[in-house]
Amino acid sequence: MIQDERDDQQEPSKEELLDQILPGDGPLEQPPEWLETSPGMSEDELARQMAIDEDAAAEQGMTLEDVQLYHFGTNEADHEWDMVLDEDNQPAMMPRSLTTEERRERDLAKIKAMLAEQPDEFLDKLREASAPRVINFVIQNLIPERSVGFLVGESGAKKTFCALQMAICVAKGHHFGGLPVRKGSVLYFAPEDADGVKERYAGWVYSQNKNKPLDNLFIIAQPVPLHRDRELMKFAAKFNASPFFELEGNKPALVVIDTYSANSAGQKIGEQWREPKDNEPGRWVGGEPFTENNNDQAAILLANAQKLAEALDCAVVILHHSGKDATRGGRGASALKANSAFEITLSKHKDRDLFIFDHTKAKGSAMLERRAFRTKSVKLPPELVKAKREAMARMSAPGKDGPAAWHIGSNDTTLIVINEPELVKQDAGADEEKAAAQKVSKTQENALRLAQFVHEYNLTRKEKNYRTPKLTKGMLSDWARTGTDDPMDKMQFHRAFEHATKKQILIKMAGDETLTAMNEAIPLLGGIKDNDPRPTDWGNKPDDGADDLNDF
């Protein structure tokens, strides 16, 4: 054992030290008479003190036992035992005082252990938000729940007929074109033509549903306040507060807005609510008048539409007109398609009873194949026909009948969609026409490339004081076939050259037949632009990068 140099007494062992510190099993000695002792607490005082201690512990989010255990743990002796070798090279235990840093680390470890046992609501929310969520659909693989998307098409593409058929299938709990649906209430907002939608729905009810309207499909003439999120949430709260929509099968599943433009017409987008102050009432301030081409406004409207979908736990389908180029989706702001969860594009068919149904954007599923739907004429309800005839009777008599007279018809029928998709039948010459159109487009592009090269060659020749050879058709042909990254074959060059000279973009000079490019005539080619435009494009107009979408 290690001997103290100051005396011959042996160092106490760990067990001996513990016996000295901790009380033994025998009775405790009574304190001496000269030591004054305070009177003990009564049971009532002890209970009051216990209640105070429990309240203090509860404020810290702990129980009284946890506090007592923590205090006991912090009163540990600030030393620990180290294993050392004595003079005889035998292992021995020696007490060593803890450093300040070691005591701090010990206390921090205990605090961390205690905190680890306490619930962390923020962390629980993060974990809950990160957990995968199954994507459910209102119409399987087509319209996801709690999403916003578009039904796009040109005028006459039967957008309203298609949207109404979707609404009927969801409200009735019947498949749409073979796709399963989630049954629920449908809110069809038609600020553009509510009476027309109601008449078409009446035709379906009379001819297909034994003249029994669906009790969970509502056609509403007013617009949805997508421009003001404050009013939109009040709007959604009215539906959520109705006992009808709380019943199973009546909860909103689909909201239809017909159309995007009509719903937002006359509204100011980006308004902010100013709270009442002093004697001034609360009011909306700021904002800009709605325009279809504004991407910022489109993003605000779609964000609010998403809030509506979340608040009602449903999907939102917005009808919208296509632009001049139907392949680019809806007209106006590009943010509409970019910020939407799905897009359906409708187009006309040669057969007027058919319309083409294209699934052009999807999230959470693969896009469906292209299909066609057929429409058919059905009778309107007798009471509606009678009302329409009474309205006609109050009008003047028609003019004389003749070859050019308009055919008014009886106005006692409407169209409905047959809920069975068909394969799209292409005309026999459709592929040939498409190939011919692509060939013309490629010829125009090659003609523009020839004109660009001729123009640049002549500019370079001018800078060199005309010391280089004049450009001829043969030299241009050699460049087109071997001097470019996208070479033309002999037939492609011939077509492009003939097209350029016919449009007077390239001119053969009299005598030596040298070539000159008429740069101001390039727009006659129909607005072709290279992927990497050269300075000679579009009459040398500077490009400031503003409103690039309008260039097309």
- The verdict on 317 and 294 lying in the same domain is yes
pLDDT given at position 518: 65
- The verdict on 159 and 190 lying in the same domain is yes
pLDDT given at position 177: 95
| Final residue in a domain of this structure, among 126, 154, 177 | 126
Lookup result for tokens 């098409």: 153
The tokens describing 410, both together, are 């009886």
- The verdict on 265 and 352 lying in the same domain is yes
For residues 262 and 196, is the Cβ–Cβ distance under 8 A? no
- The verdict on 231 and 360 lying in the same domain is yes
pLDDT given at position 195: 94
- Helices marked H in 83-193 — which ranges? 100-117, 121-130, 159-172
pLDDT given at position 65: 64
Cα separation, 165 vs 272, whole angstroms: 37
Q: How is the chain split among helix, strand and coil, in percent rounded to 5?
A: 40, 20, 40
- Is 279 a member of any domain? no
Strand runs labelled E in 34-167: 79-85, 91-97, 137-139, 143-144, 148-153
| Final residue in a domain of this structure, among 72, 107, 126 | 126
- Is 474 a member of any domain? yes
CA nearest neighbour of 380 among 418, 412, 416, 411: 412
Tens of pLDDT, residues 234-281: 999 999 999 999 888 899 999 999 999 999 998 999 899 989 888 888
For residues 70 and 57, is the Cβ–Cβ distance under 8 A? no
- Is 111 a member of any domain? yes
CATH code: domain of residue 386: 3.40.50.300
- The verdict on 445 and 467 lying in the same domain is yes
- The verdict on 183 and 72 lying in the same domain is no
DSSP letter at 11 equals P
Our count of domains for the chain comes to 3
Which domain covers residue 220, as residue numbers?
A: 137-270+287-391+409-417
- Is 241 a member of any domain? yes
- The verdict on 93 and 149 lying in the same domain is no
- Is 34 a member of any domain? no
In the chain the first and final C-alpha atoms are separated, in Å, by 96
CA nearest neighbour of 243 among 255, 235, 251, 234: 251
Query: From the first residue on, what is the mean pLDDT of each consecutive set of 10 residues in the chain (552 residues)?
Result: 51 62 57 59 79 77 62 50 63 63 75 75 86 88 95 94 97 96 96 94 95 96 93 92 90 95 92 88 90 92 95 96 78 90 94 94 89 94 91 85 77 92 71 57 84 86 86 88 85 87 75 66 44 37 39 30
pLDDT given at position 174: 96
Tens of pLDDT, residues 146-156: 999 999 999 99
- The verdict on 149 and 172 lying in the same domain is yes
- The verdict on 322 and 438 lying in the same domain is no
- Is 444 a member of any domain? yes
- Is 10 a member of any domain? no
The tokens describing 497, both together, are 């050259």
Tens of pLDDT, residues 164-219: 999 999 999 999 999 999 999 999 999 989 999 999 999 999 999 999 999 999 99
pLDDT given at position 464: 86
- The verdict on 241 and 338 lying in the same domain is yes
- The verdict on 437 and 320 lying in the same domain is no
- The verdict on 349 and 437 lying in the same domain is no
| Final residue in a domain of this structure, among 61, 95, 126 | 126
- Is 9 a member of any domain? no
394, HSE (Cβ side, Cα atoms, 13 Å) = 5
- Inter-CA distances, 153 with 73, 361, 435, Å: 74, 14, 25
For residues 30 and 37, is the Cβ–Cβ distance under 8 A? no
pLDDT given at position 462: 85
